Chains A and B, each alone.
Chain A
Amino acid sequence: MTEQTSVEALPYVSGADRHRTIVRLVAGGIGEGVDRLMAIASSLDAADVESDTVEPEPIHADPTMMAILGWVSEIPIQVKAVADSTSRVTYPVTRTAEVVWDTAAFVARATGATAFVEGFTEPFLVAWQEERERLASVGTAEYARGRVLVVEVFEQSVGGIMGFIGESEELGDLVREQTLGITGSAVREIRETGAAADGLTEGIFRRLLGRDARTVPPIPATASE
Chain B
Amino acid sequence: MSKDDHHVLQDRTAGFVTRLFAYIVDLILLFGIVAIGGWVSVLVDTALERMGVTTNISMAVIYVWSIPFIIGAYYVMFWALTGRTVGKWFMGLKIVDKNGRPPSIGRSLLRLIGYGLSAIVFWVGYAWIIIDDQRRGWHDHIAKTWVVYDYSRRAGGEIYDDYRERVDAAE
Contact = CB atoms under 8 A, between A and B. Distances in A.
B163 A56 contact: yes
Instruction: Please indicate which of the listed interface residues B5, B18, B163, B167 has the most CB atoms of chain A within 10 Å of its own CB.
Output: B18
B90 A187 contact: yes
Contact of A191 (B18, B99, B130): B18
Interface residues of A, number: 41
Given A56-B153, A217-B13, A220-B148, A173 B131 contact: no
A209 B131 contact: yes
A59 interface: yes
B159 A173 contact: yes
A184 B170 CA distance: 31
B131 A205 contact: yes
A54 B168 CA distance: 8
A173 B156 contact: yes
Instruction: Please indicate which of the listed interface residues B144, B149, B156 has the most CB atoms of chain A within 10 Å of its own CB.
Output: B156
Contacts, number: 116
Nearest to B6: A192
A184 B155 contact: yes
Contacts of A112: 154-155
Given A54-B164, A54-B168, 16 more contacts: A55-B153, A56-B154, A56-B163, A58-B3, A58-B153, A173-B162, A190-B91, A195-B149, A198-B17, A201-B16, A201-B17, A206-B131, A217-B12, A218-B12, A218-B13, A220-B11
Interface of B: 1, 3, 5, 8-9, 11-18, 21, 90-92, 96, 98-100, 130-131, 133-135, 144, 146, 148-149, 151, 153-156, 158-160, 162-164, 166-168, 170
